[in-house]
Structure 1
């Protein structure tokens, strides 16, 4: 079958001015090429769709269409009048050497190319054409029509702008001989869990549509369009039209944002001088001023093999340096701004020896440029009680002295302080951030032992020291009258005091007063090291580390779940009663904590610990958005009539296959917001706008992703609908960022990261501040090359 040629290929003008301009003209023309024996119904449907798309929208986006099945029409002169060439139904179509050379010349002169579905079978012996397409279908790909979900990861590309984030489509879904991820810019993926991908499945990262600036021109390929019905579908027609507008030079697009080589990662700090912390302390957090200076802190550990005092009879028990350093990108220099004497240099060894207290959080005042105020979240050594093994955690405001480049320690104003147990490790939390109303969010750990519950709920009421229970998180995270295991929200005032914003979880007057703390915004978090406010929505994004159980238990409940959540209002996130999507633990209590009691009710949890001095009836648990265990991402199980999961590994299903577990230490990141008015040459592209960066301390199989959330269900625990892996952009492995401790975007759009280093409780030669910048070019075509 051959479709009639709707227009002849005009001879190209031969003058030098024409050859210097990109192919095509101000009256855009698109050439559709198909095999002579192509399937008639699909080919005719595709041609008619492209013709109709050329007449849709404003007149400035219109284009005309010619159609051919004759390879002889591929001549150097003949192609120059076309803004774009479309390969449609080209399985079996072969250009000879001179015809492919004409296509190569056309692309190198700035021509556009669109490949649809089986265009990936054309020119099977051509390495250049493989590069133009991006990959080839695997021979064992399924060849039947199946319904699957398409994830639309690029929200700004003209081919995907306005499409739903999740799109159910019936088509023929190719697998690839080699994944093009990282080499092309993927705009959409197909979700393999929604269909049968066959033995050569790609896994969670299965690109289905992508684009790239290739060999001087622009190439767009979609694996969709394998059925005639596709060309009648509204979403696919929008998708194809956007691809045609970009390749025809009627619209601009960034097709470089997810290509690994377009990013440069640079270590900014040198290793410390011997027995010194001149460059960096034990990395534990950063914040960035409007002028680009990076303020970063060290928790309390010193250099490797530095003396550590663990004897409680010694007055210097746990004494360590909480450091503040400043990196200035204008000079590429580091200054050591302050050292605070903290309790926290007590690392290594067993449960009763190591400690995570110290200088654990930093945030700059929203008006730092004017007032130079810096807020630190820390445990001063001067306030520890060596008899009861307790300490004081506080949030203090200091003034930074611009003249000397140091923090004025005498300027301290203590906003908020509370008691923590420091007898048994761990969980100090530490993250802080401000919202647009000037409210300060403070993440606190549950200060609870990781032991004495076999790694499950952390609700053992029995162990205690000097009357303080240290293994019962119901005393802290699950207690409405305790500031540990929470995310607090206060409004700092200029005089060093604070007020309580409206909308926190409690007023402080519940049950007549004395049973709640009004500072609590979120309760039920275990160890939230990092939090971030989305500057556009003011939504809180948080992550926290879970317990240590390697597998779920039908007796005690879920395994180790590290957690991320988008928090749009005050609430209870579950610990130590429930984890993940309302998966309950088993209660335990005196006289025998080894005997399991009833399952907790996530809808109406009760705190019946003997160490509870708050409310017994707690707010209902809100489902979280992301959780992962050693077995993988978002484990779930069949549930009985009471809603209790089976916790049987043989019945487990993983709802987020892009996530894997292991050692696990959740490290929440920022929501990127692209500044369209910025002239920065290092800013990450607009592709990443609105994406939430979630990661883990550990590299390798642990998560480091940028995810797309659906705003319509994010508040109720909606899962991410798309995730971009970052391992090709943020270097991992030896020589890379092995232990991610914090990450934030700077005003210039570059990404700063802290590598904790190797081992724990010290700063070693790998502890470092890094920056990842974008090095790709601008969107294409350039404004001067637009057809209209």
Structure 2
């Protein structure tokens, strides 16, 4: 029996109980409407997700008055009105900027949008992409439990998500860990989360959790849970959850090269207190899509695990200069957090170096490694 894991989970459960965050077990599906989604009450504006403007006829009409043909000149994949939709991870202003960088009359548009009423129908529509019913999963008797979360409301990486799911499941089982996979945000309640040592966000994109689900996850992490974010889980152009962006990731994604999108590049492995990836070569090369960020992670005690040599590929105007991190780890109060930007190409989940990186990350974020976080 892994006594460290059992002790850590017992402490986590006690902390969540004391915070009165447990919820009763609920059915796996239901028709309960979501009432606490983010931006539910927010006035219409150019800072709303473009999706929440273009899917409301009255708001769309006002937008087209100021920017005629906007929704015709942009590519269809950007404007899907079905979930998942890229339009949920762009503000209306960002969408307009793609068609007309000068953005004339933006202030006038914003003023007219703000006068629209936020009706009960509007509120219900904004919350429709979230899950209401709390979920509770039955896990096996493995002493370490992994929850793989892969709900996608923004950009869907498709086959890469599937490849990552298969790889994470295989790796967890090889390590003797129990693994549960879900795309339902209802899994984020204290009762369910207390069963898991780490939650892996598998290419999650777009807002996926309600306010109460966010609160449960924040308490889970702060009280000793683990987070491992993979690729697209740190790749949205806008976040409406400051804690996730600032405390877990510590960065804001700004883009990736497109000419070409996938490039061979040289990565550097760094020593760190958790010994993550220590068996990898100091320098290794692989082909993937390479994210850039507005700045290096702004996190206390952050340790870089992998960085990229910008001279080994063509970042274009997305070059960060100096240090360009790709994978890093840090503590969030008593919790453990790590993010890796590797993983757009489905082939990446068969690359031996990436498999080693993820396995080591799973070990540390689940609390099994050395130098785990202290409250």
What's the TM-score, normalizing by structure 1? Answer: 0.29
Can you give the 5+ residue segments of structure 1 that lack an aligned partner in the other structure?
A: 1-14, 253-778
Aligned to 1:250: 368
Contact 1:149 1:169 in 2 (8 A): yes
| 1:192 maps onto 2:310 in alignment | yes
Aligned to 2:338: 220
* Residue 200 (structure 1) shift: 2.5
Q: Distance in 1 between matches of 2:173 and 2:188?
A: 25
Aligned to 1:307: none
Aligned to 1:82: 196
Contact 1:155 1:162 in 2 (8 A): no
Match of 1:127 among 225, 239, 242: 242
Aligned to 2:265: 148
| 1:112 maps onto 2:226 in alignment | yes
1:125 aligns to what SS in structure 2?
coil
Q: Distance in 2 between matches of 1:66 and 1:73?
A: 11
Matches within 5 A, 1:411-450: none
What's the TM-score, normalizing by structure 2? Answer: 0.59
* Residue 207 (structure 1) shift: 0.7
Q: Which has the higher contact order (CA 8 A, sep 6+)?
A: 2
* Residue 48 (structure 1) shift: 0.9
Match of 2:148 among 29, 32, 43: 32
| 1:161 maps onto 2:275 in alignment | no
Q: Distance in 2 between matches of 1:198 and 1:72?
A: 40
Matches within 5 A, 1:48-63: 48-56=166-174, 61-63=175-177
Cα distance per residue 1:351-385 (max 9 Å; x no partner): xxxxxxxxxxxxxxxxxxxxxxxxxxxxxxxxxxx
Contact 2:288 2:344 in 1 (8 A): yes
Contact 1:154 1:188 in 2 (8 A): no
* Residue 103 (structure 1) shift: 0.5
Structure showing the higher helix proportion among its residues: 2
Contact 2:249 2:297 in 1 (8 A): no
Q: Distance in 2 between matches of 1:71 and 1:134?
A: 22
Q: Distance in 2 between matches of 1:198 and 1:102?
A: 40
Q: Distance in 2 between matches of 1:75 and 1:21?
A: 10
Aligned CA distance change for structure 1 residues 77 and 21 (closer, same or farther; 3 Å): closer
Contact 1:31 1:65 in 2 (8 A): yes
* Residue 180 (structure 1) shift: 1.3
* Residue 781 (structure 1) shift: 4.7
Aligned to 1:570: none
Aligned to 2:14: 19
Q: Distance in 2 between matches of 1:237 and 1:161?
A: 13
* Residue 179 (structure 1) shift: 1.4
Aligned to 1:177: 294
| 1:94 maps onto 2:208 in alignment | yes
Contact 1:92 1:121 in 2 (8 A): no
Matches within 5 A, 1:755-766: none
Q: Distance in 2 between matches of 1:157 and 1:16?
A: 21
2:180 aligns to what SS in structure 1?
strand
Matches within 5 A, 1:91-490: 91-121=205-235, 124-130=239-245, 131-138=247-254, 140-143=255-258, 144-154=261-271, 157-180=274-297, 183=300, 184-252=302-370
* Residue 156 (structure 1) shift: 6.2
Aligned CA distance change for structure 1 residues 160 and 34 (closer, same or farther; 3 Å): same
Q: Distance in 2 between matches of 1:97 and 1:213?
A: 23
Contact 1:181 1:207 in 2 (8 A): no
* Residue 204 (structure 1) shift: 3.0
